[in-house]
Structure 1
Amino acid sequence: MVLQGFFSKGRGVKEDPAVSVFREYIRLKTVHPEPDYDGALKFLGRISEELGLPMKKIEVCPGRVVAIMTWTGTNPSLKSVLLNSHTDVVPVYQEQWKYDAFAAVKDAEGNIYGRGTQDMKCVTIQYIEAIRRLKAAGKRFPRTIHLTFVPDEEVGGHKGMESFINHPEFKKLNVGFALDEGLANPTEAFTVFYGERNPWWITIRCPGSPGHGSRFVENTAAEKLRRIINSFLAFREREKQRLDTSECFTLGDVTTVNMTMVHGGVAYNVIPAEMDVSFDLRIPPTVDLQEFEEQIKAWCAEAGEGITYEFAQKFMQQNTTSTEDNNPWWKAFSSTCKALNMTLEKEIFPAATDSRFIRAVGLPAIGFSPMNRTPILLHDHNEFLNEEVFLRGITVYERLLPVLTAVPAQSGEE
């Protein structure tokens, strides 16, 4: 692929304007627990004026706004192409970073450091800059393109895409196909995601006999808690073994289990009447979810009387997007990548993105961040993206969008 623009690697060469916009976006502190969403909306409003695209703002929950930019196609009755991205980023441990996580420092190798460089402010700006190039070239396409910028993805999406997907304004978008975030790939290949594991966040409550800390009290909460932990972590180890011993499995093909919180007790010398333990489970679409919950019930029953559980999150949809060669959307996507000499690796996404809400309403969605030769650093210290990889991604979208928006009308569209 031909890289466009100028690269600045400490040699005094002018920086590509798209890189400057990317770094400006990184500097906006849209970080939890108090994201600067107003700053992001102001930034996006300026971009919409530069592109000559109208931007609509939809408050889907109090204080939570989805911004929508629209490039209307020449045949707007056709289903649209949705380019989704989230504006929020996760917190940082600044003492673990070599640079300020919101300064967007670029080193001599062209690596741009900052929270959100991979997850997923890069993709947001790549969408925008690809459209800027296409509009500057006077291009028009049959299908409408909508760019959506949603809040709260990093805290589950409940006040973001999950609310928006059921909003009348989403239905007006008439979406036929969506692109959303993926992951970096440290090899020459690019990873694409056609489905996701279901996130289950569960808390197990273990009641027991209280008493003085000097006695051997029977039937304590801690004993039940230990049995629960043992059951969950034994299952975790079995799944890890499946992943480690299979040459064809990726992380998205197995269930991960991680104990994330333990609560209970009031004093050193008081045996508590209840103790809680919480787990983060990520379950692939190949697992029967009802059978899996029955297994959890069995672990609870085996651990002792009175144990209950509740879910903070329990996603039950297992829809995946077709990657068959006869699927028109996948054919358009994959053939364009092939023409760009890109090797694609198809996987189930190991974590959770807003794509799951899009697929849950029956719409095809591909998770894709065009970042190869890049270590996976989302949510990690010293998250970075090289400017050449970033600029190449713009070129990828510049080639993808004309093909996706020219997919022939499907049954029921005209």
Structure 2
Amino acid sequence: SEDPSVTLFREYLKIDTVHPKPDYDAAIQFLERVGTDLGLASQKVEVCQGRVVLVLTWQGTTPRLRSILLNSHTDVVPVFEEHWTYPPFEAVKDSQGNIYARGAQDMKCVSIQYLEAIRRLKAEGKSFPRTIHLTFVPDEEVGGHKGMEMFVQRPEFRALNVGFALDEGLASPSDTFSVFYGEKSPWWIKVKCVGSPGHGSRFISNTAAEKLHKVINSFLTFRESEKQRLKSDSSLTLGDVTSLNLTMLEGGVSFNVVPSEMAAGFDIRIPPTVDLKAFEEQVAAWCRGAGDGVTYEFVQKCMDQHVSSTEESDPWWKAFSGVCRDMKLQIKLEIFPAATDSRYIRAV
């Protein structure tokens, strides 16, 4: 027979919370039901229309103390079903015990782990001085702008009196667990190049395509240098270097027309050790070097570079790392290579 925690996990996975139309109502109803079963207080905060943050609370014996926050997001990224062995929202479990579903790792597993940990602790008769809050937030996979970013600005969040928070990480293939104490700043940049139009049969001068070629070369040359830096230094992780990818190209109306405008989109993730002002100046220089009529704009620009303290003098870190030592867990401190909702919590 299947462990009830696994059954619960699979039930959550079957709720289709994929963008662009996630079924948040079904997810909230499911989580509220589990919270009620565990005797947790429940609060729903609508941060904007159709976007609800669910807070489940296990009251501490000394509630004036700063609380512990366990955060997870309810949404998942889109799927290409033709590449899946099993339907992505059926949570099929094979004969080896592998469960196939979108969100199985990112990050519905963590949500269920939080809930099952509380279930076990309560069954053992445990109680704690500090209050423990579980937050289930929407829209993390599309930037968190209608989720955690708005929630942390609200009085309901301030009332949680958070002292220490845990969020998502990455699964570890080894016995060493990565502890992410900070993350990269995500920049999404669109570079637009304006040039001379004309007929496709002629050698038009000063074209948008020529300028875009120079822009792309500059960006991708930098990308290669960071890639080689990571490859040549075994002490570095992906979180220590700036990743850059060309993710979008726009332009053209017909095969026989030289377009007057072309654009490229870049996804850049910058570690907290990098001077963001200097990096933007470098981006501006690449654009200037491509010629006149080349401009850039930010679709997303995160400037916050806060990191969580990992000093032994910090009481929160001392408590967390001390428990890891007591449990003989090997941990490795890293910067998260992508972005999570933790950046909004650190910023406040």
TM-aligned CA deviation for residue 136 of structure 1: 2.1
2:187 to 200, 205, 226: 200
Question: Whole-Å Cα distance in 1 between the matches of residues 50 and 260 of structure 2?
Answer: 39
Does residue 306 of structure 1 match 2:293?
Answer: yes
TM-aligned CA deviation for residue 326 of structure 1: 2.1
User: Any idea what SS the aligned residue of 2:303 has?
Assistant: coil
Does residue 345 of structure 1 match 2:332?
Answer: yes
Question: Whole-Å Cα distance in 1 between the matches of residues 234 and 261 of structure 2?
Answer: 43
Does residue 324 of structure 1 match 2:311?
Answer: yes
1:357 maps to which residue? 344
TM-aligned CA deviation for residue 329 of structure 1: 1.1
Question: Whole-Å Cα distance in 1 between the matches of residues 253 and 4 of structure 2?
Answer: 57
Trace 1:257-406 onto structure 2 (pairs within 5 A).
257-361=244-348
How many residue pairs get aligned? The number is 348
Trace 1:84-163 onto structure 2 (pairs within 5 A).
84-163=71-150
Q: Write the deviation string for residues 273-321 of structure 1: whole angstroms up to 9, x where unpaired.
A: 1101000000000000000000000000000102111111100010111
Amino acid at match of 2:41: P
1:394 maps to which residue? none
Does residue 188 of structure 1 match 2:178?
Answer: no
2:163 maps to which residue? 176
Question: Whole-Å Cα distance in 2 between the matches of residues 253 and 170 of structure 1?
Answer: 31
Q: Write the deviation string for residues 203-249 of structure 1: whole angstroms up to 9, x where unpaired.
A: 00000011111111110000000000000000000000100000100
Amino acid at match of 2:21: E
TM-aligned CA deviation for residue 36 of structure 1: 0.7
Question: Whole-Å Cα distance in 2 between the matches of residues 290 and 52 of structure 1?
Answer: 49
Question: Whole-Å Cα distance in 1 between the matches of residues 334 and 118 of structure 2?
Answer: 27
Question: Whole-Å Cα distance in 1 between the matches of residues 272 and 172 of structure 2?
Answer: 22
Amino acid at match of 2:209: A
Question: Whole-Å Cα distance in 1 between the matches of residues 30 and 217 of structure 2?
Answer: 49
Question: Whole-Å Cα distance in 1 between the matches of residues 279 and 312 of structure 2?
Answer: 33
TM-aligned CA deviation for residue 137 of structure 1: 2.2
Q: Which moved more, 1:238-247 or 1:129-138?
A: 129-138
Unaligned runs of 5+ in 1: 1-13, 362-414
TM-aligned CA deviation for residue 59 of structure 1: 0.7
Question: Whole-Å Cα distance in 1 between the matches of residues 49 and 290 of structure 2?
Answer: 42
User: Any idea what SS the aligned residue of 1:173 has?
Assistant: coil
Q: Which moved more, 1:45-54 or 1:236-245?
A: 45-54
TM-score for both structures, normalised by structure 1: 0.83
Question: Whole-Å Cα distance in 2 between the matches of residues 267 and 238 of structure 1?
Answer: 36
Amino acid at match of 1:89: V
1:61 maps to which residue? 48
Once superposed, what is the RMSD of the aligned Cα atoms? 0.8
Unaligned runs of 5+ in 2: none
Does residue 238 of structure 1 match 2:238?
Answer: no
Question: Whole-Å Cα distance in 2 between the matches of residues 112 and 43 of structure 1?
Answer: 19
TM-aligned CA deviation for residue 333 of structure 1: 1.2
Question: Whole-Å Cα distance in 1 between the matches of residues 87 and 319 of structure 2?
Answer: 40
TM-aligned CA deviation for residue 169 of structure 1: 0.8
Amino acid at match of 1:305: D
Amino acid at match of 2:288: A
TM-aligned CA deviation for residue 156 of structure 1: 0.5
1:5 maps to which residue? none
**How much identity, in percent, do the aligned residues show?**
66
Question: Whole-Å Cα distance in 1 between the matches of residues 20 and 108 of structure 2?
Answer: 18
TM-aligned CA deviation for residue 138 of structure 1: 2.2
Question: Whole-Å Cα distance in 2 between the matches of residues 86 and 157 of structure 1?
Answer: 9
2:2 maps to which residue? 15
Question: Whole-Å Cα distance in 2 between the matches of residues 84 and 202 of structure 1?
Answer: 29
Amino acid at match of 1:344: I
User: Any idea what SS the aligned residue of 2:92 has?
Assistant: coil
